[in-house]
A and B are shown apart, each in its own frame.
Chain A
Amino acid sequence: MKVLVAVKRVVDANVKVRVKADESDVELSNVKMSINPFCEIAVEAALQLKESGQASEVIAVSVGPDVCQEQLRTALAMGADRAVLIKTGNDLEPLAIAKLLYTVTQREEPGIVLLGKQSIDGDNNQTGQMLSALMGSAQGTFASQINVVGDWVNVIREVDGGLETRSLRLPAVITADLRLNEPRYASLPNIMKAKKKPLEVIDASDLGVDIAPRLKVIKVSAPPERKAGIRVNSVQELVEKLKNEAGVI
């Protein structure tokens, strides 16, 4: 069985983004970019499926401009076998991304498609679910453990009250939560080897998929600032202030 894993290029998780002065977007020029942390976990999960003999091939796929090749090379350096870039402009909506990924699943027919549970830029948490709907497959979102059993896969999911196990018929779409695994680092020799692995570039306009934006972003503003707080010197002072000044206890 093939495993397809989707990776997204996003602003590095440690960068504190700032809103542009004209409120059109956040400032993205000269900002460090990385693989979305949840996608990294999805790649690791795909590699573990291959290493345990349950997957035959791991294909990394990304949707976006040419520079996303960097993130695909990172996935190849971690151990993915080959990569596909669907070349588009920036900032597609989740439904458009899901439709483009769907064309790749139709061609490759993977047994499992792995994605991160959400990207840390748009914070949408939609693409995996939408892709699963398009494929007509089962979905295992927010996965913290994956066990393939014959034609089915058991997924332990992180839900509001704790954990839950669901059994899904293959092919299935699984989205990775934080605790699924600890992603590996790419070693220098593997980074060198990754440069020789196949990376196919497909132009999105050749796929006949409607990816026009449907949502209009009217503005992007900074969240309201909190006014500066004060330092207290003792627990006594703190409790007194919470009781009398803030009135919250």
Chain B
Amino acid sequence: MTILVIAEHDNKVLAPATLNTVAAAAKICGEIHVLVAGASVGGVAEAAAKVAGVAKVLVADNAAYAHQLPENVAPLVAALVQEAGAAGYSHILAAATSNGKNILPRVAAALDVDQISEIISVESADTFKRPIYAGNAIATVQSNAAVKVITVRATGFDPVAAEGGSAAVEAVAAAHDAGISSFVGEELAKSDRPELTAAKIVVSGGRGMQNGDNFKHLYALADKLGAAVGASRAAVDAGFVPNDMQVGQTGKIVAPQLYIAVGISGAIQHLAGMKDSKVIVAINKDEEAPIFQLADYGLVADLFEAIPEMAALA
């Protein structure tokens, strides 16, 4: 059995989610290969070769792959699997990031196999668990496909070590350029705080924050705790903060040691993104808010008094 893991990266840095994906691959048992597809990705390939448990790194370095266009990357992955034949790849894994979710279903369709989204555990080489209905049910599914195409929810697996491996690096000569799509530009939010999905502590604000300016109270608390700052959909839709801060079924899925929900009522869709956090704290002035049913520690208080006080004490 050989497992192909598609590396998540921005052409410069190997994203931490790749380490969680390799951890899932290690649970399946088999030789692990990592594909780094991008442009000028020598550094990323080197980093991937050092990841514990990786046997081989395939590097597809071509301008056509620079922006992870699925029209170009999916045929590359499908071709790698088809060329390897029956003795080749039994599993293709990618992190359930926006790139992974964008590319893998296209790979699966090209190979005419089903795809399994956002697994949270590996039961055996063909059986996996995944949440459905916004995390209100956990399905155990079995696939009999020759090649199992899977996205991995990072919070379900502890990352493998980024150092200690010494995989062989091999160039892939393929260049698929469908010519039907192109990258125009991007607008990435800048932040010095830890990345939301990897942070040990997350402080999130909801509609109760009232406006974007009031998020400064959360930033002050977050900086004191070394935490990342998240938001509910209500806060994003109201324009308080950018959409990449959204935690929930349709935003980011987090599972930090400590999640502090401030002015968040706790809709099903929000809970889907954070209910696997180790300790959940709710601060809300509505004592009937559903978030209190989930919280380990609940405080009924006005957030504008409680948050500065907490920042001073923490």
B-binding residues in A (CB < 8 A): 11, 13-14, 16-19, 26, 93-95, 98, 117-118, 120-134, 137-139, 141-142, 144, 154, 157-169, 177-179, 214-223, 226, 229-236, 238-239, 241-242, 246, 248-249
Interface assignment of B52: CB less than 8 Å from any CB of chain A: no
Q: Which of A117, A129, A134, A216 contacts B250 (CB 8 A)?
A: A117
Residue of A nearest to B140 (CB): A218
Are B186 and A163 in contact (CB-based, < 8 A)? yes
Are B298 and A168 in contact (CB-based, < 8 A)? no
B117: which A residues are within 8 A, CB to CB?
A: 123-126
Are A221 and B71 in contact (CB-based, < 8 A)? no
CA distance A133 to B135 in the complex (A): 28
CA distance A124 to B108 in the complex (A): 13
With A94-B115, A133-B106 as contacts: A216 and B181 at CB distance below 8 Å: no
Interface assignment of B161: CB less than 8 Å from any CB of chain A: no
CA distance A154 to B127 in the complex (A): 39
B42: which A residues are within 8 A, CB to CB?
A: none
Give chain B interface residues in 128-171, CB to chain A under 8 Å. Answer: 131-145
Q: Which of B114, B182, B281 contacts A95 (CB 8 A)?
A: B114
Chain B 83-126 interface mask (CB, 8 Å, partner A; 1/0):
00000000000000111011111101110111111100000000
Q: Count chain B residues whose beta carbon lies closer than 8 angstroms to a beta carbon of A.
A: 86
Q: Which among B27-35, B54-62, B305-313 touches the partner chain?
A: B305-313
Are B257 and A248 in contact (CB-based, < 8 A)? yes
With A11-B133, A130-B109, A221-B140 as contacts: A16 and B275 at CB distance below 8 Å: no
Are B116 and A134 in contact (CB-based, < 8 A)? no
A128: which B residues are within 8 A, CB to CB?
A: 105
A98: which B residues are within 8 A, CB to CB?
A: 109
A178: which B residues are within 8 A, CB to CB?
A: 233, 237, 250
B304: which A residues are within 8 A, CB to CB?
A: none
Q: Could you give 22 example pairs across A and B, Cβ below 8 Å? A: A95-B108, A120-B133, A129-B109, A138-B181, A157-B98, A160-B97, A160-B252, A166-B181, A166-B183, A167-B184, A168-B180, A215-B114, A220-B139, A223-B135, A223-B136, A226-B294, A229-B296, A230-B297, A235-B299, A236-B313, A248-B201, A249-B201
CA distance A169 to B181 in the complex (A): 6
Are A248 and B188 in contact (CB-based, < 8 A)? no
Closest Cβ of chain A to B296, distance in Å, is 4
Are B138 and A222 in contact (CB-based, < 8 A)? yes
Are A217 and B141 in contact (CB-based, < 8 A)? yes
With A94-B115, A230-B298 as contacts: A129 and B106 at CB distance below 8 Å: yes
With A134-B109, A179-B243 as contacts: A239 and B98 at CB distance below 8 Å: no
Residue of B nearest to A214 (CB): B114
B244: which A residues are within 8 A, CB to CB?
A: 158-162
Max count, chain A CB within 10 A of own CB: residue among B71, B133, B186, B257? B133
Closest Cβ of chain A to B221, distance in Å, is 11
Chain B 210-229 interface mask (CB, 8 Å, partner A; 1/0):
00000000000000010000
A124: which B residues are within 8 A, CB to CB?
A: 115, 117
With A123-B133, A130-B109 as contacts: A158 and B98 at CB distance below 8 Å: yes
CA distance A178 to B146 in the complex (A): 35
Interface assignment of B12: CB less than 8 Å from any CB of chain A: no
Residue of A nearest to B103 (CB): A129
Are A120 and B70 in contact (CB-based, < 8 A)? no
Q: Which of B97, B106, B143, B225 contacts A132 (CB 8 A)?
A: B106
With A17-B133, A121-B132, A158-B244 as contacts: A217 and B310 at CB distance below 8 Å: no
With A130-B106, A162-B188 as contacts: A26 and B133 at CB distance below 8 Å: yes
4 further contact pairs, Cβ within 8 A, besides A95-B114, A130-B106, A164-B187: A137-B180, A168-B181, A179-B237, A215-B116
B105: which A residues are within 8 A, CB to CB?
A: 94, 125-130, 133
Are B134 and A120 in contact (CB-based, < 8 A)? yes
Closest Cβ of chain A to B123, distance in Å, is 9
Interface assignment of B278: CB less than 8 Å from any CB of chain A: yes
Are A246 and B258 in contact (CB-based, < 8 A)? yes
Chain B 267-282 interface mask (CB, 8 Å, partner A; 1/0):
0110000010011110
With A231-B299, A249-B314 as contacts: A120 and B249 at CB distance below 8 Å: yes
Residue of A nearest to B185 (CB): A165
With A242-B281, A242-B297, A246-B258 as contacts: A133 and B181 at CB distance below 8 Å: no
**Ordered nearest first, which 10 A-B pairs have the shortest CB separation?**
A129-B105, A133-B109, A126-B105, A165-B184, A130-B109, A248-B258, A138-B181, A162-B188, A229-B296, A161-B188
Residue of B nearest to A10 (CB): B133
B136: which A residues are within 8 A, CB to CB?
A: 16-19, 26, 222-223
Are A123 and B70 in contact (CB-based, < 8 A)? no
CA distance A238 to B281 in the complex (A): 9
CA distance A162 to B186 in the complex (A): 8
B300: which A residues are within 8 A, CB to CB?
A: 231
CA distance A241 to B296 in the complex (A): 10
B313: which A residues are within 8 A, CB to CB?
A: 235-236, 239
Are B243 and A17 in contact (CB-based, < 8 A)? no
Interface assignment of B69: CB less than 8 Å from any CB of chain A: yes
Interface assignment of B172: CB less than 8 Å from any CB of chain A: no
A121: which B residues are within 8 A, CB to CB?
A: 132-133
